[in-house]
Chain A
Amino acid sequence: MIRLEPRLTRPKWLAFAVPIGSIIAAMILGALLIMVSGNDALATYGRIGERAFGDVVAWTDTIIAATPLLLTGLAAAAAFRMGLFNIGGEGQFVMGAVAAAWTGLALGPLGGWVAIPVMVLSGIAAGSIWAAIPGFFKTKFGTNEVITTLMFNYIAASFASFLIFGSESFVRELEGSGKVFPQGKVISDDVIWPAFGGGGFSVPLGFILGCIAAMALWLLYRQTRFGFEIGVVSDSPEAARYAGINVPRTGLAVMTISGGLAGLGGASNIGDIRHMLDPKGLNQSGYGYTGIVVAALARWNPIAVIPVSILLGGLANAGRSLQGEDFPAGLVGTLQGLLLFCAVSGEFLTRYRVRVAARRAKVEVKAA
C-alpha cells in the first residue's frame, strides 16, 4: 500500500530538482504527444530551440517575448505566494495597456522624457486598481477571488474592445486606414520606449523595469518589515493575528502590488512592443495565464521568474515565428500546460514522502 507522509524538512536540492524535473517531464510528455500526432519530436524541439536561442536576433526576439511574461509572472508570484489566486493578470495587463496608450497619446507632444514615466506610472496604477477591487471583495467579504479576478479579465477585454471597435475613443485611430478597419492609434516615435544594447542585441525598457521590479520584490520579502509580515501571513494567519498583523490589509496590499506589476506589463506592451492598443492581439496572447505558468515553475520566487520567463519567452517566440510552417498552433500552449501540470504535481513531492507499507493482516470480528 502506498502512503503519503508529510515531510518534516524540505531538502534544499528539491527546490531545484522539482522545476528542472518538471521541465524534463513536460518535454518528454510533449515529445510523446508530438510523435503520436505523426511528427518528429526531436526535430520540432530543435527548431524551437533554434528559433528561440539560435542567434543574437533570436535572443532579442526572445527577450521581447519574455518581457510581458516577466511582469505577469512577477504579478502571479507575488499573489500566489500568499495564497491569493490572482487569475486576473490578463485583465490587469489590459487595463495597464489602456492607461499607457491613453497617456502616451495624450502626452506625446510633450516628448518622451515626460510621457514615458507617466505611461509607466499610469500602467501600474491602472493594474493596481483593477486588482484591488476584487482584492477588496475578498478581504472584506471573503468573495472567492478566483472567479472575480477572472470575470474582471473579461470585463477589461470588453472595455478595451469597446474603446477600439465600439466607439470613437481617444485611443482609436480615426484617420487613414482607421476609417476602414477599426484599430488603435499609434503613439508617436518619441514616446516609444527605449531599448538598450548593441550589436543586434537589445533589451527593451520593459524587461529592465521588470528585472528591477523582481529585485525590488526580492528585497521587499527579505529586507522589509512588510515582507516579513507577508511571510508570516502566508505561513500561518493565526500566528499573524497573534502577532498583531492586520491580515486583511496585508492581503489587499499584496493584491494591489500584484495588479500593478501586471499593469506595468500592459504599459510595456504599448511602449515597447505594439505601440497601440490592440485588443484582439492582447486577447489572443494570454500573457496573464502564461504568467501563472512562469510563476509556478519559478516556485513563486521573484528572482527565479527572470530566467523562467526567458525560457517561456523563447518558447512563445519560437511558436510564433514557426507557426504555419507545418507547426501546429496550440503546441506552445500545450507545452506550457504540461509544464505547469508537471510543476504542480511535482510540488507534492516536496511536501510528502512516498512510503510503501506492508498491508495489515485482516482480522475477523466475532459478533456479540
Chain B
Amino acid sequence: MNDSIVMAVLISAIFYGTPLLYAALGEVLAERSGVLNLGVEGMMLMGAVVGSVISSRLDAPGPIVLLVAFLAAMVAGALTALLHAFATITLRVNQTVSGLTLTILAGGAGLSSYLANVWQLKDPAAHQFQRLNIGGLKDLPIVGPLLFDQTLLTYLSWVAVAVCSWYLFKTRTGLNLRSVGESPSTADAMGLNVVRTRYIHTMIGGAMAGIGGICFSLSIVPTWVDGMTAGRGWIALALVIFGFWRPLWVMVGAYLFGALSSLSLILQARGFAVPPELLDSLPYIMTVVVLVVVSAGWSSKTLSAPDALGTAFEREAR
C-alpha cells in the first residue's frame, strides 16, 4: 500500500512541494502588502548558496550547523529582498523591472553561482536535513510516510502555513497588512505606516524564499548546482495567484505542483515510458492555464489580487 504509485506521488508532492510552499508563503505576505517580488528565484538561490557554505564549512555539531544554515539562509534572502524594497518603495523603480534585475543578479548565472565558485562548493553538503522518522511511525499505512517521515523543513512549513493563516486573518497586524495592500491611502489615513509595512513584509518574503532555497541545497539536491531551483521561484509566484493569496490554498497548490514535477521521475522508475520533457512542462502549462482562467474573470472580487499590488505609494500633498 505504501509502495503504490499514488503514495509515491503524494510523498513526492510534499517533498518537492516544500520549497515551493516556503517561497510562495513569503510572496503571499509581500504581495499582501502590495509589493510584487519577481526576485523570488534569485532570493531562493542566495539562501541556498549561503546555507550550503555554512553546512560545508561550519565545524560544529549537526543540529547547530543546520540551525545556523537555516538562519543564514533567511538573512541572505531578506537582504536581497531589502534591495528590492529599497528600489521599489523608496526609489519608485518599477516593481517588475526591479524583481527581474535581482533574479538576474542573484540567479543561476549570477551572484549565487559566483559565490558557490568562490567558496568552492563541490561536494555534497556535509549536513543535510534528513527525513525524521517520528516515533518510528513511518510504516503506518498511508499516514505513516506522509505525516511521520518528512524532513524538519517540511514540518516547519506546516507550522508556517498555520502561522501565516492565523496572522493574516485573525490578528490586528494582519488586518493592517491587508489594508496596506488593498488601499494604501486608506491605511495611511488610518495612521498606518505604509512604507514600513511594505519593507518588513518584503524582507520576510525574501527570508522565506531563502528557506525555500535550502530546501534544495540541503535536502533535495544536496550538491550545489548552479541555478538548482530551476524556475521554482517563478512557479511560486504563480502559486500565489493559484492560491488566491491564501496560505492554505497556496499549500494545496504547492503540493499539486510538487507532484507534477516529480511525476516524470516516478513514472519512469515504474517503467512507464512517458517522455520526461513533456511531463516536465506540465507545471508550467498548468500555471499559464490557471493565470488565464483567473484573469479572464472567472474569480470573484474576494478572490482577486490585493488592489494596490504593484503600485508605488505616494501620499497626498499637504
Task: Judge A-B direct contact (beta carbons within 8 Å).
Answer: yes
Q: Which residues of A contact B (CB under 8 A)?
A: 4, 33, 37-38, 80, 85, 87, 134, 137, 141-144, 146-148, 150-152, 154-155, 158-159, 161-162, 165-167, 284, 286, 289-290, 292-293, 296, 328-334, 336-338, 340-341, 344-345, 347-348, 351-352
* Chain B nearest Cβ from A142, distance in angstroms: 5
Mask for B258-293, Cβ within 8 A of A = 1, else 0?
000000000000000001111011001101100110
Is B8 interfacial (CB 8 A cutoff)? no
> Is B44 in contact with chain A by the CB < 8 A criterion?
no
A164, B80: Cα distance in complex, Å: 37
A69 to chain B, nearest CB (A): 13
Tell me if B292 and A137 are in contact (CB < 8 A): yes
Chain A interface mostly: helix
User: Can you list, as one digit per residue, whether each of B230-249 has a CB less than 8 Å from chain A (1) or not (0)?
Assistant: 01001001100100000000
A-B contact pairs, 27 of them (CB 8 A): A33-B114, A85-B100, A147-B287, A147-B291, A150-B231, A151-B238, A152-B284, A152-B288, A154-B231, A154-B234, A154-B281, A159-B281, A162-B278, A166-B278, A284-B109, A286-B108, A296-B97, A329-B113, A329-B114, A329-B117, A330-B109, A333-B104, A337-B101, A341-B83, A344-B93, A344-B98, A351-B92
Q: Do B91 and A345 have beta carbons less than 8 Å apart? A: yes
- Which residues in B have their C-beta under 8 angstroms from that of A87? 100
Q: Secondary structure at chain B's binding surface: helix, strand, loop or mixed?
A: helix
Interface, chain B (partner A; CB < 8 A): 38, 83, 87, 91-94, 96-98, 100-102, 104-118, 226, 231, 234, 237-238, 241, 275-278, 280-281, 284-285, 287-288, 291-292, 295-297
Is the Cβ of B109 less than 8 Å from the Cβ of A166?
no
Distance (Å) between the CB of B100 and the closest chain A CB? 7
Chain B residues closer than 8 Å to A147, beta-carbon distance: 234, 237-238, 241, 287, 291
Chain A residues positioned under 8 Å from B115 (CB to CB): 37, 330
The residue of chain B having its C-beta at the shortest distance from the C-beta of A91 within the complex is B284
> Do residues B87 and A334 form an inter-chain contact, with CB atoms below 8 A?
no
Say how far B279's CB is from chain A's closest CB, in angstroms: 9
CB-CB under 8 A from B284, the residues of chain A are 151-152, 154-155, 158
Whether B291 pairs with A143 at a CB distance below 8 angstroms is yes
B93 touches A345 (CB 8 A): yes
B83 neighbours in A (Cβ, 8 Å): 341
- When distances are taken between beta carbons in the complex, the residues of chain A under 8 Å from B231 are 150, 154
For residue A25, give the distance in angstroms from its CB to the closest CB of chain B. 13
Q: How far is the CA of A148 from the CA of B285 in the complex (A)?
A: 9
B286, closest chain A residue (CB):
A151
Known A-B contacts: A147-B287, A166-B277, A330-B114. Give 14 more (CB < 8 A).
Answer: A37-B115, A147-B241, A147-B291, A148-B288, A155-B281, A155-B285, A161-B280, A292-B100, A296-B97, A330-B109, A334-B111, A336-B104, A341-B105, A344-B101
| Docked pose: A162 CA to B110 CA in angstroms | 27
Q: Do residues A344 and B292 form an inter-chain contact, with CB atoms below 8 A?
A: no
Residue numbers in B under 8 Å from A80 (CB-CB): 97
Bound-state CA distance A348–B88 (Å) is 10
Q: Let me know if B91 and A332 touch, CB within 8 A.
A: no
Give the CA-CA distance A33 to B110 in the complex, in Å: 12
Residues of chain A contacted by B285 (CB below 8 angstroms): 151, 155
Which residues of the partner chain A approach B297 to less than 8 Å between Cβ atoms?
A: 141
> Are B93 and A347 touching (Cβ within 8 A)?
yes
Check A352–B277 contact: CB distance below 8 A.
Answer: no
Contact B96 A352 (CB under 8 A): no
Q: Could you tell me the distance in whole angstroms from the C-beta of A31 to the nearest C-beta in chain B?
A: 14
CA–CA, A147 to B118, complex, Å? 32
Select A337's contact among B92, B105, B288, B291, beta carbons within 8 Å.
B105
Q: CA of A80 to CA of B291 in the docked complex: distance in angstroms?
A: 21
Taking a contact as CB atoms under 8 Å apart, the answer to whether A141 and B111 are in contact is: no
Check A341 against B38 for contact (C-beta < 8 Å): no
CB distance from A45 to the nearest CB of B (A): 15
CB pair A333 B87 closer than 8 Å: no
In the complex, which residues of chain A have a beta carbon less than 8 angstroms from the beta carbon of B101?
A: 296, 337, 340-341, 344
A330 touches B116 (CB 8 A): yes
Known contacts A143-B295, A151-B288; A158 and B280 CB within 8 A of each other: yes
User: What's the Cα separation between A134 and B284 when bound, in Å?
Assistant: 13
Complexed CA–CA distance, A142 and B299 (Å):
14
**B102 to chain A: closest CB distance in Å?**
7
Q: How far is it, in angstroms, between the C-alpha of A210 and the C-alpha of B38 when the chains are bound?
A: 30
Q: 4 shortest A-B CB distances, which residue pairs?
A: A337-B105, A330-B113, A333-B109, A330-B114
Contacting pair B92 A348 (CB below 8 A): yes
Least CB separation from B91: chain A residue: A348
CB of A141 within 8 A of CB of B92, answer no
The CA-CA distance from A155 to B288 in the complex, in Å, is 10
Give Cα A15 to B276, complex, Å: 48
| A348 CA to B238 CA, complexed, in Å | 29
Question: What CA separation (Å) do A38 and B114 show in the bound complex?
Answer: 13
Give the residues in chain B near A293, CB-CB below 8 Å.
104
In the complex, the chain A residue whose C-beta lies closest to that of B113 is A330
B residues near A159, Cβ cutoff 8 Å: 277, 281
Chain A residues with CB under 8 A of B96: 85, 146
Which residues of chain B have C-beta atoms less than 8 A from A134's C-beta?
A: 288
List, in ascending order, chain A residues with CB within 8 A of B287's CB.
Answer: 147, 151
A-chain residues with CB within 8 Å of residue B102 when the two chains form the complex: 337, 341
